[in-house]
Structure 1
Amino acid sequence: MDGHLDGRLDGTLVARMREYLAAGTAMDLAALEALYDEEFENVRTDEAGRVAVLTKAHFMARFRALAARGEGVADGGTDDVRFLSAGRHGDQGTVVMYRCEDGVPARYVFVWRREDGRWTTLLREFTFERDVSPLLALLAAATTGGGAGGAAAEG
């Protein structure tokens, strides 16, 4: 169910989000490459206040590694996704999304770029998690040459 406090959602923005979710579920690497802006960042925070920042390169490396192993993300599908808010702010739009993954409620905020009258690329994703320390350790290992830069991203 999609909802908004005043009952309005930008339908074009919700449709673009659904395209993004479908591309991730299908592991459509070409579509994901086109959907993530070159400036994309995923900012993940946790209960202890730690912050991990993942780039487009991190995400795409992770997607390519999963695809090479015949694996994917969102194996449970996206039927549980609810859009709580979707609105335009000048040349950007924000989507607040809720879902329950493995019994754990999760909320996300996505920021989209708008150009020439359409939603083009995903600029930012903000995610709250219980603990990002394993992700921070993987990112640190990747930057010191201990692994692939995208090994940490979970998409």
Structure 2
Amino acid sequence: MDQPLVERVLDWLSAGLAGDTAALDAACAPDFESIRCDEAGRVVKLTRQELLSGPHAPKRCAGERTGEIHLLTTSEYDGHEVALVRRAQQGTAVLHTFVWRAERG
């Protein structure tokens, strides 16, 4: 696995749980998009601004039990790095796919 990518993903998850929007903002490209499913199973696309503000903004989750975080695999293709993560979120196993634009240096 790509250790620098693993570290970036763990930093991202930690920042989200801490409600550290400044750290998340620093990691987001201007054209950042978060694509996820809502509770009804519909696909929702959030822009950088929507993710970092309003009802979608990460909130401090002090005491939230996330269980173990497992990075299942990393890969790189066409200038992008991908990490597949499995973790517990509010007692339910959740899969996340992180796609990062690869920029060296």
The alignment's TM-score, normalised by the length of structure 1, stands at 0.57
Where in structure 2 are the equivalents of 1:118-133 lying within 5 Å?
A: 118=105
Root mean square deviation, CA, Å: 2.8
Q: Does 1:22 align with 2:10?
A: no
- Structure 1 distance, partners of 2:57, 2:77, is 35
Q: Percent identity?
A: 33
Q: Which runs of 5+ in 1 are unaligned?
A: 1-8, 119-155
- Structure 2 distance, partners of 1:97, 1:12, is 15
Q: CA deviation at 1:113?
A: 1.2
- Structure 2 distance, partners of 1:48, 1:65, is 20
Contact 1:25 1:77 in 2 (8 A): no
Q: Which runs of 4+ in 1 moved over 4 A?
A: 46-49, 63-66
Contact 2:30 2:48 in 1 (8 A): yes
Q: Deviations over 1:72-116 (max 9, x none)?
A: 14742555211011122242100100012122111010100111x
When Rg is computed on C-alpha atoms for both structures, the one with the higher figure is: 1
Equivalent AA in structure 2 for residue 57 of structure 1: Q
Which residue in 1 is equivalent to 2:80?
92
Contact 1:82 1:98 in 2 (8 A): yes
Number of aligned residues? 105
Classify 1:111/1:29 alpha carbon distance in 2 versus 1 (closer, same or farther; 3 Å). Answer: same
